[in-house]
Amino acid sequence: MQRTKPHFPPVAIEGALSEPWIALADGRALAEWSREDEIAYNQTNRQGEKALFFRRAFDYVTDNRVKGDYYEFGCHRCRTFRMALTEARRHNLSAMKFRAFDSFEGLPDPATETSVEIWKRHALATSQETFMKMVREHGIYADSVQAIKGFYADSLTPKLQKALLDQGRKIALANIDCDLYESAAPVFDFIDPLLQEGASIYIDDLFAGYRGNPSKGVARAFLEWQRRTRWKVQRHLDVGWWGRSYIVYLEKENVDGVL
């Protein structure tokens, strides 16, 4: 007999009218809990938190009149990309362009050891054809989507950067979901001149893959970029335990205090 898959409400915690004051699954509810259930539970909650982030991030850029485009680096399964398209439509951002940067062949060979065993060459691969099919089926701003294929050390060229600058295509929101240091490092240099005051940078794997060690992975690439860029960053929204967004600005005078 096939088991009925449980429904996992993303993010929300249901209250109760007695101790411990929240509804918790007990031993009977979890008696047949499997690894498959664990994966579905984690993914439902994680993607729910990301969807909530995109709702807030697009509200932020819209209300602050940060006019620009959406750039995503790492587009496996078109998950967050579709979230961005949906929220852009809800905010009537018909002038926005959407750029998807990915090898569309999965990860490169990791140059450093990670704590995630599945982060191997060709892992997390979604073909460009499959990605664009998902975009078209989603049915929102599909004609405004551009997919740029290639590993970032090869595809993020000065020529492409200049072309985007010449077109005035500044960034409103950048989603950096690169997993590896060697993937993320060229991304920060590429987006640097395309940023504008108020632009939001979301780093998906800030605390993932290296047991939270900031001297490794995407966190290392982000910290190194901060030491060489003219941009200052202000912490904005936390996303689950793994990600965080920042707002970029130019410091014209010293301001004391902590936000």
Give per-residue pLDDT as tens, 102-121. Answer: 998 866 566 676 655 554 55
Asked whether residue 122 is assigned to any structural domain, the reply reads: yes
Tell me, what CATH number does 70's domain have? 3.40.50.150
Residue 256: strand, helix, or coil: coil
Rounded Cα gap, residues 97 and 240, in angstroms: 27
User: What's the domain count of the chain?
Assistant: 1
Asked whether residue 15 is assigned to any structural domain, the reply reads: no
Q: Which two tokens stand for residue 39?
A: 């994966």
Residue 208 pLDDT: 80
Asked whether residue 145 is assigned to any structural domain, the reply reads: yes
Asked whether residue 54 is assigned to any structural domain, the reply reads: yes
- Give residue 96's domain range: 37-249
Residues 6 or more apart from 224 whose CB is under 8 A from it?
185, 188
Q: Indicate if the pLDDT at residue 62 is higher than 50.
A: yes
Cα distances (Å, whole numbers) of residue 203 to 75, 83, 197, 207, 215: 13, 16, 18, 9, 15
Cα distances (Å, whole numbers) of residue 163 to 146, 193, 231: 14, 12, 21
In percent, the amount of the chain with pLDDT more than 70 equals 85
144-177 per-position pLDDT tens digit: 999 999 999 999 999 999 999 999 999 999 999 9
Asked whether residue 8 is assigned to any structural domain, the reply reads: no
182-231 per-position pLDDT tens digit: 889 999 999 999 999 999 999 998 998 778 888 888 999 999 999 999 99
Asked whether residue 32 is assigned to any structural domain, the reply reads: no
Residue 8 pLDDT: 47
Asked whether residue 22 is assigned to any structural domain, the reply reads: no
Please choose, from the candidates 54, 259, 66, the residue with its C-alpha nearest in 3D space to the C-alpha of residue 172.
Answer: 66
Q: Which two tokens stand for residue 99?
A: 């750029």
Asked whether residue 2 is assigned to any structural domain, the reply reads: no
